[in-house]
Amino acid sequence: MAANYEYEEAAAGEEGESGGYDPNYVADSVKSFVVHMYRHIREKNVYEIHQMCETSFQSLSERLFKETPWPSVEAIAPYVDNDHVFCLLYREMWFRHLYARLSPTLKQRIDSYDNYCSLFQVVLHGVVNMQLPNQWLWDMVDEFVYQFQSFCQFRAKLKNKTEQEVALLRQHDKAWNVYGVLNFLQALVEKSSIVQILEQEEDKEHFTSTDGYDYSGGSNVLKVLGYFSIVGLLRVHCLLGDYHTALKWLQPIDISQQGVYTSVIGCHIATIYHYGFANLMLRRYVDAVREFNKILLYIFKTKQYHQKSPQYEQILKKNEQMYALLAVSLSLCPQTKLVDDSVNSQLREKYGEKMMRMQRFDDEAFGIYDELFSYACPKFITPSAPSFEEPLVNYNQDAYRLQLKMFLYEVKQQQLLSGVRTFLKVYSSISLAKLAKYMEVDESTLRTILLTYKHKTHSVDSNGGIISNADIDFYMNNDMIYVVESKPVKRYGDFFLRQIAKLEGVINDMDRVKLE
Amino acid sequence: MGKEIESPQEQSSYTVEQLVAVNPFNPEILPDLENHVNEQVTSQTYSLEANLCLLRLYQFEPERMNTHIVAQILVKALMAMPTPDFSLCLFLIPERVQMEEQFKALIVLSHYLETGRFQQFWDEAAKNRHIFEAVPGFEQAIQAYASHLLSLSYQKVPRSVLAEAVNMDGASLEKFIEQQVTNSGWIVEKEDGSIVLPQNEFNHPELKKNTGENVPLEHIARIFPILG
């Protein structure tokens, strides 16, 4: 079954119940927090804003708001000149805290959507003149998509809904409507002209080099929200099962390079996770393996630096999920040279045995493919509004079940290939008749198996060309099969270049040495 | 709201490709996309992006789904093999719709093509003629896929294997082979009638581009100061 995302999704909690929560009471530390935050935002002190979001907000939440929401926006508004935009930002953090620590009611979910609408409208009308930390801007887009996904799951569980909830759902049919969500993300991408900015980076635009920040007195908010919305659209399309379009949206961002997406680790991981998953479903296994390898190596080297951050748990979770996806990809498309040693040893540790069993393609193997896919896949959604006809059922698993079924169907088609691979490893040439006898099939069946092998190991790349993913390949001449093993090519050229440069360095150093 | 919904008059001045690129999350374009599918069928063109856009809109508003159009999209996707377009479309079609007879038949046909079982494919296709009789170019597209797959796998292929794959014999097979000889570089072996397929890196491993050893000029340029 699909694992839960970061937060718990228990039955709807009550507003203002736990431990005598008074939404109007503002502790001194909270007053101080909002006053300082407001000042830092007005003064465009990005570093301080970042510290307040990452550290102060978390420690205050831990100390005072472990089981209750923060004070209502009406209560803190007087301390910040009733600033409209600040109040929208405060409410964004308020709801994010609610989703993380408590369970939102239906009314709260709807209110949160309204808040995002208002906030994005303000940004889209271009009246915002702030510089906000990338981490916060990413958190906004990330949370927006997360709450949408959460709402679709929530809405699809109709069975135990009360009459009031059903009435409220019917009444507020625009809240978290899929058109609304997608159009907002697209509007942010378009209004910010981020695609054109990224295209013109070589000549005149400076976006990546400044990490998206505007050093000429302007605002980074629209541009960076537009940029992160690209990743948002990648994510939503994966949730819908449209992997081709998901990757198309991501195209403006060059993931072979550093960029603003790597400036926030949560964004970096979300981008590569969804890129890899989409490629896996598109059967472009090599592309998936390559990117999973890179990010897993990166996390391996850098996770110690994020131990204190609020994103740490999520980083670890995604790390584990990507190892599972890597195990699946390599079982479907064995590769010898794409995975780094440190990643490979972790992979063997976690999934070595399961990978062996998956490559047997028997019933047990399908069970493992099912298990790993279900553990690691995104939480797919049914985007359409429910029909409220009796009997009310839960259909929140439908989308996931469809994607799982399609995936296992593909796995099943590849069932015969591992048998062929074993024989191809052993022979340099063999007649069809002989191989058919060993595999206990007739010749014409063997021909179809060999064609399947060719088809499944040769994928169509984004330009329409054919690339071979086969670690071991063959060709046929009438009735004979000739095996071709792809040997890893030794790169002598690079080796010599490096050694030449190194020797030059040593000679220069020696020249500098003065002898007594 | 981000995007304003345009009136139908303004919309018809955009091509469908433009609509899909600029305004994909708009339920008003659904009729245009449906018409576009019919156009693809009659004019033997194909647009994956437009069809995915339509399937998404059907996902958002299932009551508006037109299963006949969905079937046409799937037939066109089948004709686009070896790309995985057929699966891409299935990802967006709810399970209960996939259980309908016409879709079950299409899925079986796709399965045969995915696993190189051309004989079973043509047998099954014959039983379901009504599904693709209305889609011109269907046979040719599948025959092109069959030729493609054979070219990846064989240097020389027995005539009988080819005949089974493209579902032809006698005079029509001769004509087909002649066309390929002229257009695609096929050669017919005189002794046994088997077909020598054009050389490519997949059936002739020695032709595989040895990317490993190419050192770009920029890299060499870095050591010019040392050598000079």
Whether B91 sits inside 8 A of A406 (CB atoms) is: yes
Q: What is the pLDDT along chain A (516 residues), one digit of tens a residue?
A: 333 333 333 333 444 444 578 888 999 999 999 999 999 999 999 999 999 998 999 999 999 999 999 999 999 999 999 999 999 999 999 999 999 999 999 999 999 999 999 999 999 997 788 999 999 999 999 999 999 999 999 999 988 888 888 899 989 989 999 999 999 999 999 999 999 999 887 766 778 888 888 888 788 999 999 999 999 999 999 999 999 999 999 999 999 888 999 999 999 999 999 999 999 999 999 999 999 999 999 999 998 888 888 889 999 999 999 999 999 999 999 887 889 999 999 999 999 999 999 988 888 999 999 999 999 999 999 999 888 887 788 888 999 999 999 999 999 998 878 888 888 888 999 999 999 999 999 999 999 999 999 999 998 887 778 888 888 889 998 889 999 876 655 667 767 877 888 888 888 888 888 776
ipTM: 0.87
B202 contact A CB<8A: yes
State how far the Cα of B82 lies from the Cα of A354, in Å rounded to an integer: 31
Are B119 and B109 in contact by the 8 Å Cβ rule? The answer is no
Is the confidence at residue B150, as pLDDT, over 80?
Answer: yes
Could you tell me if B137 lies within 8 Å of chain A, comparing CB atoms? no
Q: Is B97 on the interface with A (CB under 8 A)?
A: no
Q: Angle formed by the axes of helices A443-457 and B138-153, to 10°?
A: 90
pLDDT value of residue B209: 63
Would you call A454 and B153 a contact, using CB atoms and an 8 Å cutoff? Answer: yes
> Chain A interface, mutation test: which of B118, B203, B206, most A Cβ atoms within 10 Å?
B203
A404-432 in b/e form (b: 16+ CB < 10 A) is bebbeebbebbebbbbbbebbeeeeebeb
DSSP tally for chain B: helices H, then strands E: 15, 3
The tokens for A46 are 């990005």
Distance from CA of B157 to the nearest CA of A (A): 5
Measure the CA–CA gap between A225 and A138, rounded to whole angstroms: 7
Nearest residue of chain B to residue A281 (CA atoms)? B88
Chain A contact for B27 (CB, 8 A cutoff): yes
Chain A interface test: which of B19, B90, B103, B114 (most A C-beta within 10 Å): B114
The amino acid occupying position A432 is L
If you write DSSP's letter for every residue of A130-197 in order, what string do you get? ----HHHHHHHHHHHHHHHHHHHHHHHB-TT--HHHHHHHHHTTTTT-HHHHHHHHHHHHHHTTHHHH
pLDDT value at residue A13: 40
Q: In what order do the strands lie in the sheet with A429-431?
A: A429-431, A480-485, A472-477, B154-157, B195-196, B187-188
Pairwise CB contact (< 8 Å): A451 & B88: no
User: Residue B3: pLDDT above 70?
Assistant: no
What tokens does B68 get? 């006949």
Cβ contacts of B201 on chain A, cutoff 8 Å: 468
Distance from C-alpha of A446 to C-alpha of A435, rounded to nearest angstrom: 8
Burial environment of residue A477 by CB neighbours within 10 A (0 to 12, 13 to 18, 19 or more): middle
Using the beta-carbon criterion (under 8 Å), do A491 and B210 form an inter-chain contact? Answer: no
Q: How many angstroms separate the CA atoms of A265 and B86, rounded? A: 35
How high is the pLDDT of residue B13? 56
CB contact under 8 A, A497 and B153: no
CA distance B85 to chain A (A): 9
Full DSSP string of A205-256? --SGGGTT--TTS---HHHHHHHHHHHHHHHHHHHHT-HHHHHHHHTTS-TT
Answer whether B204 touches A (CB < 8 Å).
yes
Give the distance from residue A498's alpha carbon to the nearest chain B alpha carbon, in angstroms: 9
Contact B149 A190 (CB under 8 A): no
> How large is the average pLDDT for residues B125-151?
91
Q: Is B223 on the interface with A (CB under 8 A)?
A: yes
| C-alpha distance from B134 to closest chain A C-alpha (Å) | 27
**Min Cα separation B96/chain A (Å):** 10
Number of H helices, E strands in chain A: 22, 5
Say whether B203 and A183 touch across the interface (CB within 8 A): no
Any A CB within 8 A of B198 CB: no
Please check whether residue B207 touches A, CB under 8 A. Answer: no
Q: What is the pLDDT of residue A380?
A: 96
CB of B111 within 8 Å of any CB in chain A? yes
Share above pLDDT 70 across residues of chain B, in percent, rounded to a whole number: 89
Scanning A303-340, the segments in alpha helix (DSSP H) are 312-332
Which helix (H) or strand (E) element contains residue B187?
A: strand B187-188
Residue B145: closest C-alpha in chain A: A455
- Name the residue among B52, B3, B22 with its Cα closest to residue A181: B3
Distances (CA, A) of A376 to A3, A144, A324, A325, A381: 8, 21, 6, 7, 15
Name the residue among B52, B156, B219 with its Cβ closest to that of A497.
B219
Choose the mutation target among A184, A284, A402 for the interface with B, i.e. most B CBs under 10 Å. Answer: A402
The pLDDT value given to residue B65: 96
Task: Count CB pairs under 8 A between chains A and B.
Answer: 173
B8: contact with A, CB 8 A cutoff: no
- CA-CA distance, A152 to A158, in Å (whole number)? 11
Strand partners, A476: A481, B154
| Residue B131 to chain A, least CA–CA distance (Å) | 23
Count of C-beta atoms within a 10 Å radius of residue A156: 19
Q: Is A357 exposed, middle or buried (0-12, 13-18, 19+ CB in 10 A)?
A: middle
CB contact residues (below 8 A), chain B span 33-62, against chain A: 48-49, 52-53, 55-56, 59-62
Distance from CA of B141 to the nearest CA of A (A): 16
Cβ contact B152–A450 (<8 Å): no
CB contact, 8 Å: B159 with chain A?
no
Give the length of chain A.
Answer: 516
Give the residue from A155, A80, A154, A148 showing the smallest Cα distance to A117.
A148
Which stretches does DSSP call E strand in A344-432?
A: 429-431
Neighbours of B17 (CB within 10 A): 12
